[in-house]
Amino acid sequence: MNRKNALLSVYNKTGIVEFAGSLVELGWTLYSSGGTAKAIATAGIPVQDVSTLVGGEAILDHRVVTLSREVHAGLLARPIDRSRLRRYVPTQGRNSKIRLHSRVRD
């Protein structure tokens, strides 16, 4: 099963709710940060705030949110099977919540 994930983080929120809604209608799972996540959730669209995945709050006046090892691992991971993935992703602590399934096959 190929899951589709989107990481949405924008300064100008114009049109983001409509865009996010379209992605969800197409079967995408949404991850977002702070204000973008709030705008999407307020519209009733399911979204997970990325800070809950990486276990940290935004820094530098919310300019640094998605810059984390966990998020970058998900973006840069090559397709691998789940058994090999366990070697690369810790199974304990805050990192256990990370979902790299966009590039993982069973």
Domain of 27, CATH number, reads 3.40.50.1380
Q: What is the mean pLDDT of residues 5-19?
A: 90
Mean pLDDT confidence for 54-75: 66
Range of the domain at 15: 5-105
* Residue range 44-48: mean pLDDT, rounded: 95
Could you read off the pLDDT of 77-104 as tens digits, one per residue?
A: 666 665 665 665 555 444 444 444 444 4
What would the two tokens of residue 58 be?
Answer: 């935004």
Q: Look over the chain and give the mean of its residue pLDDT values, rounded to a whole number.
A: 73
* 8 A C-beta contact, residue 70 and residue 56: no
Q: Which residue has the tokens 């994930």?
A: 5
Largest CA distance in the chain: 41
- Note the pLDDT of residue 84: 61
Q: Number of folded domains in the chain?
A: 1
CB neighbour list of residue 15: distance below 8 Å, 6 or more residues apart = none
Q: Is the pTM of this model over 0.95?
A: no
The type of residue at 82 is: R
